[in-house]
Structure 1
Amino acid sequence: MADISVIVPVYNSERYLEKTLNSILKQSFRDFELILVDDGSADLSGEICDKYAEKDKRIVVIHKKNGGICSARNAGMEIAKGQYIAFCDNDDLYLDGLLEDNYYLADKYDADVVRFSRRRTDSLNGKVIAVRETKGFQTGYIPSSKFEKFYEQINNAGEGVWAGLYKREFLEKYNIKFNENMKYGYEDLYFMIQIYMHQPSIVLNSKVYYHWIMRYDHSTSAKINKNNIDSLMVCLLEKWNLYKKYRMEETKKYLWIKELSARICQVIKYVGPEKAGLKLKERIDVIKYFATCSVFDERFRFNTMLKMIKQTGVGSAGICWMFSHRLYFVLYCLIIGKNFRMY
């Protein structure tokens, strides 16, 4: 049995795949299996997977009918034999020491989860337009019994599943899998919430080990997909259940306000001007649809907003207050800003 199973869902990534695989195979840590799940690629990605498997006995290849990234990851998890499971997307990069350093921490503390930092590079037409790194959490071990106390640190570690190691026994015990109904985003968030619902022991490692490359020309759709909004609504309901389970709905309500305001901004940006062909009314209708999620049933009154400003700042509290009072057009103008255009 390998110490780690690294799962890579592969779909039409012939331009980037070899660089990704090389970044994993050159890791100083050697006791791992690499599971490549070819999810019905129409380009040469499947052949590249087979070529690499012929050269390295640690590589296992699955060829399957296209079912989406969640289906591909689940297929890899079904055959994984490692003590811990790790993930990598087919166009991202592992940085030096990712497996060795984080497996050391996982083994030292017998942790259910290890979370580490990532670097994000945004590119458009091959040009880098922004580089950011995960910030806002400290390195340390958090036993299961202290999950609620240190939840803010845990939450600040982000939601990308590739920025972590996960004990396979823990995932199997609680039947934690990816939601295959989520086709256009938020599948990572859902997966992490399911893990946190079962109070794992966690090691946080603030060092950067993963390079996430966001290629807007490759990843951004010109159309809005309702599944994206539906998936986010499911995740918010699950996350509210998480808050209630650990009795954080009052003790950490400021975090919930920050969460909601951030998601409101995400949705408004999602229907922004770059979505060609949409009339303004259609954009506002998507925002209104998002507002039907039951987590917004509570109306944030003015006195609530004033109380939360001290902990969240004017922005987060103000956004939630305006959203709960159906000021969708005002929020759209404020958040889109100079990019606002009347279609």
Structure 2
Amino acid sequence: MTKVSVIMPVYNSGEYLNRAIESILSQSLKEFELILVDDGSTDGSSKRCDEYARKDGRVVVIHQKNKGICAARNAALKVAKGKYIAFSDHDDEYSPKQLEDNYNRIEVSGVDIIKFGSKAIQSYQKRIFRNDIRAFNNEIVTNEQIKKRFWELWRIYAFECVWDSLFRKSFLDQHHIEFNLFFKTGSEDYDFLWHCLGNGASFEFNSSVYYNHYIRLGFSTSAKFHEYTIKTILDRPQILFDYLIDWMPILKENRLEYSYFWLQMVLGSLCHTVAHPACDMSMTQKVKVISDLKESSFFYDWIMDVKLRDLIKLSSLRYGVLLWLYKCGFYKLCIRLYQIQYKKHMK
């Protein structure tokens, strides 16, 4: 019996691939398969995937032309044999008991998805400048309970990533849940999880920390600038909330929480994108993109009336400053705020 299918898209993974694969093959749980989807690598990663398959019968390799992470994960979902699905990025690491501990828990609780703690390790040229632990309280929550506690759970990253989870495969199959090919430069995990929420998923949260997620500026796809990212950010709220359309009256009741969502997922994300050193737009073009957000979907005038003190207490000083600058029409300074952050981390 294959208890878990671990899905890892691989694209020009370089020096990080071996460590990522070894961390999975050395799991205390042995009844799993590792599906490596070589997404058109050109740096020798394809060959390394095949070498692992020859050495370990649990490794399955799919080779395909470069189609992106969503298509790669979907290809693996179609052939996965495990009772549960797990994910890994090609430059991250599993802790030794990650699969065993969470498999045992979800077997007992019977939920659709179990989430566990992770570390977000940010670095530039091998210099680590941030190491955040993302952990949950031990609890089991129904879909109806999630609806009432959505913003609370969203703020602790419960619906952001798929690699800190085990998914019941029968649930995904029953509701035809896969990755949305629209998302080419990030946000595909949000979409996948919100799709699960909209189909009634129940969750268990495990307080223990297992997964090491590395954000390497200059290597990670999410750290690069893509023009398509702007379109993704602008369209993301509509796509995500389509899954939770019946939840919207409840979600909009808490204007402070919703405003924080908009600041982080829309305004902040867009400033982060156009401030990237690789963005070759003129400052005039960047400012227009930012200022036009007031006409975009899911922006509400009452966001500008949120008390800055309450917002800072809920989130951080940065988002309080960002909202104040935006309210005052200082769009260029909104962008400068993120350019300063890039310069600080890439010295």
Amino acid at match of 1:140: E
2:145 counterpart residue number: 146
Cα deviation for residue 306 of structure 1 reads 3.6
Give, in whole Å, the separation in 2 of the partners of 1:83 and 1:221.
30
1:29 counterpart residue number: 29
With normalisation by structure 1, the TM-score equals 0.88
Conserved? CA contact 2:224–2:276, under 8 Å? no
1:211 counterpart residue number: 212
Give me the identity figure in percent.
31
Conserved? CA contact 1:34–1:58, under 8 Å? yes
Cα deviation for residue 237 of structure 1 reads 1.5
Amino acid at match of 2:143: S
Given candidates 260, 271, 275, the residue that maps to 2:278 is: 275
Give, in whole Å, the separation in 2 of the partners of 1:308 and 1:245.
31
Task: Look up the SS of the partner of 1:218 in the other structure.
Answer: coil
Conserved? CA contact 1:222–1:274, under 8 Å? no
List gaps (5 residues or longer) in structure 1.
Answer: none
Cα deviation for residue 77 of structure 1 reads 0.5
TM-align CA RMSD: 2.8
List gaps (5 residues or longer) in structure 2.
Answer: none
Give, in whole Å, the separation in 1 of the partners of 2:10 and 2:164.
18
Which sits farther off after the overlay, 45-54 or 270-279?
270-279
Cα deviation for residue 308 of structure 1 reads 8.8
Given candidates 279, 285, 296, the residue that maps to 2:288 is: 285
2:118 counterpart residue number: 118
Which sits farther off after the overlay, 198-207 or 79-88?
198-207
1:165 counterpart residue number: 166
Cα deviation for residue 168 of structure 1 reads 0.9
The C-alpha deviation readout for 1:190-230, integer Å capped at 9, x for no partner, is: 11111111121100112211111111122369974232122
The C-alpha deviation readout for 1:136-177, integer Å capped at 9, x for no partner, is: x42211123322233244322341111111111111111111
Give, in whole Å, the separation in 2 of the partners of 1:251 and 1:65.
46
1:325 to 1:238, Cα distance in 2 relative to 1, 3 A? farther
2:251 counterpart residue number: 249
Conserved? CA contact 1:222–1:276, under 8 Å? no
The C-alpha deviation readout for 1:253-310, integer Å capped at 9, x for no partner, is: 33211111112122212222623644321221332455543111x21276x4249937
Aligned pairs for 1:80-99 within 5 A: 80-99=80-99
Task: Look up the SS of the partner of 1:177 in the other structure.
Answer: coil
Cα deviation for residue 25 of structure 1 reads 0.7
Conserved? CA contact 1:154–1:204, under 8 Å? no
1:239 counterpart residue number: 240
Cα deviation for residue 11 of structure 1 reads 0.8
Amino acid at match of 1:42: T
Conserved? CA contact 1:8–1:73, under 8 Å? yes
Cα deviation for residue 314 of structure 1 reads 8.7
Cα deviation for residue 17 of structure 1 reads 1.0
Conserved? CA contact 1:299–1:321, under 8 Å? no
Task: Look up the SS of the partner of 2:214 in the other structure.
Answer: strand
Conserved? CA contact 1:5–1:85, under 8 Å? yes
Aligned: 1:258 with 2:260: yes
Task: Look up the SS of the partner of 2:99 in the other structure.
Answer: helix
1:336 to 1:5, Cα distance in 2 relative to 1, 3 A? same
Task: Look up the SS of the partner of 2:219 in the other structure.
Answer: helix
Amino acid at match of 1:142: V
Task: Look up the SS of the partner of 2:193 in the other structure.
Answer: helix
2:178 counterpart residue number: 177
2:200 counterpart residue number: 199
1:332 to 1:167, Cα distance in 2 relative to 1, 3 A? same
